[in-house]
Amino acid sequence: MKKIISVLLLGVAILAFAFNSPALAADAASGAKVFSANCASCHAGGKNLVQANKTLKKDALEKFGMYSAEAIIAQVTNGKNAMPAFKGRLKPNQIEDVAAYVLGQADKDWK
Ligand code: HEC
């Protein structure tokens, strides 16, 4: 009985560790897939083919108040002007993932 309890506790500890890991909170690898399927048509390479000044590069994101996961999540969810809303098309966790991917790419200058 004691053994079973300690095995259970170990399992709980492993799960708690896994769910606390930031890599799982927002998954940039999954974000990369979401991006190529849903965003690249207008934002290939971090550019903006519709409105040229609103790129996904770090300087533009900072200039337009978009350099944060919250801001990107809000815009992808609800859309803005010529950018479509993705709520209903993407799950909330996919939107988090793609926001993490965009920020990571902006930090690397999309290289
Ligand atoms: C049909 C073309 C189109 C698609 C598809 C699209 N966007 Fe956009 N995106 C735009 C346009 C246009 C803007 C500028 C909106 C504005 O501020 O008027 C924009 C702006 C942005 C910005 C802010 C950029 C800045 O410098 O202010 C982010 C971040 C962004 N898009 C992310 C995404 C992500 C992530 C996806 C995929 C889930 C996506 N977009 C899909 C057209 C698109």
Report which of 64, 74, 67, 75 is spatially closest to residue 103, judged by C-alpha positions: 67
pLDDT per residue as tens digits for the range 33-54: 999 999 999 999 999 999 999 9
Terminal CA-to-CA distance of the chain, rounded, Å? 55
Residue nearest to atom 41 of ligand 1 (CA): 39
The pLDDT of residue 89 is above 90: yes
Residue nearest to atom 6 of ligand 1 (CA): 39
Cβ–ligand 1 contact at 103 (below 6 Å): no
Per-residue pLDDT, 26? 84
Q: Which of 15-19, 34-38, 92-96 has the lowest mean pLDDT?
A: 15-19
Which residues have a Cβ under 8 Å from the Cβ of 17 and sit 6 or more positions away? none
Backbone angles phi, psi at 39, to 5 degrees: -120, -30
The pLDDT of residue 21 is above 80: no
Cβ–ligand 1 contact at 98 (below 6 Å): yes
The pLDDT of residue 16 is above 70: no
